[in-house]
Amino acid sequence: MTAFLDSEFKPAKPTEAAFHVIPAPYEKSVSYGTGTKFGPKTIIESSSQLEKIQRGKDPGEKGIYTAKPAPTLNAIEKAVSYALKCQATPFLLGGEHTVTLPAIKALKAACGPDFGLIQFDAHADLRFAYEDDPLSHASVMRRISELGIPIAQFGTRSYCQEEQDYRQDKKNKVTFHDAEELFRRFKVNKKNKLLPANFPKKIYISFDIDGLDSAIMPATGTPVPGGLLWYQTLDLLAELTKGRTIIGLDLVEFSPIKNFHAYDFTAATLAYELMALV
């Protein structure tokens, strides 16, 4: 496996890098399409086709270190802990969405619980368990919520009644803006508050690539129509991160389709756009 964007930047030492890109090819509980374990490698390889500057920004100039693949939940937690020890921003490339849980555990151990999670996703991932697995990709946000981390969901459009009931219970601290609401009624402006006033200033961004509309990103295990479009997504990200500190990132659930390079390049571009927010 090559290093992220090594066509433009010499890979940085882990103790000097601003970002630790951590491949997490974990795929255990996927319930429909498979192939997320190939996502990290494909994104990293496709990053070699990126231009150094994206939309006037050059996030790679501060140094990118690409870690060895972390194939287990325990290895992911250790890799994120090491990134934080190096004072770098950890950026997980999944793998299924379950990989977010060990990252959050590492962040909570290092930084305390005073941060929130912003989730882009077609699904709520708030089931107590799915197919009798409490560590399912469909339960990852439930486990994170149980750790006391406030969650804000964007682009959701597929969920069960259990998940709807859970996120509507205010004590669980789950904010949500479904994709249809964002498309039909919601405009990003000062009058519309995307996040509660008390949402933490420190944030972790977890981006399930199926949050994007399946017309532009079908390369995922469970594509759902009616999702977010490209510039809508970038505008939301810019607004949500304004005045906040990003302490970690992930991009998950990308499942490459052989010989469809546009989707590989889209995923790599999204990864670089996420880095540009930090």
pLDDT(139) > 70: yes
Task: Give the whole-angstrom CA distance, residue 87 versus residue 78.
Answer: 14
242 Cβ neighbours under 8 A, 6+ residues apart: none
Tokens 């995922």, residue located: 220
Range of the domain at 212: 19-276
Q: Residue 84 maps to which CATH number?
A: 3.40.800.10
The answer to the question of residue 62 being in a domain is yes
Overall number of domains in the chain: 1
- In order of 15, 35, 114, 220, the CA distances from 73 in angstroms are 23, 18, 23, 21
pLDDT(58) > 80: no
Q: What is the pLDDT at residue 62?
A: 81
The answer to the question of residue 5 being in a domain is no
Read off the pLDDT of residues 167-203 as tens digits, 9 standing for 90 and up.
Answer: 999 999 999 999 999 988 766 555 568 999 999 999 9
The answer to the question of residue 2 being in a domain is no
Tokens 């999670």, residue located: 117
The answer to the question of residue 13 being in a domain is no
Question: Taking a C-beta distance cutoff of 8 angstroms, is the pair 3, 46 a contact?
Answer: no
The answer to the question of residue 4 being in a domain is no
By C-alpha distance, which of 97, 162, 96, 159 is closest to 128?
A: 162
Q: What is the pLDDT at residue 184?
A: 82
Give me the mean pLDDT over the 16-21 stretch: 96
The answer to the question of residue 14 being in a domain is no
Q: What is the pLDDT at residue 40?
A: 98
Question: Angle CA(11)–CA(17)–CA(22) in degrees, nearest 5?
Answer: 75
Question: And the tokens for 244?
Answer: 């906040």
Question: Taking a C-beta distance cutoff of 8 angstroms, is the pair 79, 236 a contact?
Answer: no
pLDDT(26) > 90: yes
The helix (H) or strand (E) run that includes residue 274 is helix 261-276
Q: Is 271 exposed, middle or buried (0-12, 13-18, 19+ CB in 10 A)?
A: buried
Q: Is 210 exposed, middle or buried (0-12, 13-18, 19+ CB in 10 A)?
A: buried
